[in-house]
Amino acid sequence: MAEEPVFNRIAVLRADRGVSRRDLAAALGVHYQTVGYLERGEYSPSLHLALRIAEFFEVPVEVVFSLKPFPKLGSAS
């Protein structure tokens, strides 16, 4: 079964909060490369990890993850 893409805004949130990949990885208890793969959309996290990422950034999970691409900054929608 082909894996359905899950889009995320981890890189944007991380840059906004000034958090490095290694810091985020340490807070989540994952390898720092996993954060990179998540940001590149090459790995879709488990529900548990997704919730913990949302919790880390103190936002609802749908702010971080979506089944549809996020609108680009400055676009009308």
Q: Which residues bind another protein (CB under 8 A)?
A: 20-22, 29-37, 39-40, 42-43, 45-46, 49
Give first-to-last CA distance, the chain, whole Å. Answer: 32
Residue of 41, 68, 62 lying closest to 50 (CA atoms): 62
Query: In the complex, what is the shortest distance from the CB of residue 75 to another protein, in angstroms, rounded to a whole number?
Result: 26
Query: In the complex, what is the shortest distance from the CB of residue 43 to another protein, in angstroms, rounded to a whole number?
Result: 5
CA 13 remoteness from chain centre = 8
Q: How far apart are CA 73 and CA 67, in angstroms?
A: 18
Closest to another protein by CB, 46 vs 75, is 46
Query: In the complex, what is the shortest distance from the CB of residue 27 to another protein, in angstroms, rounded to a whole number?
Result: 13
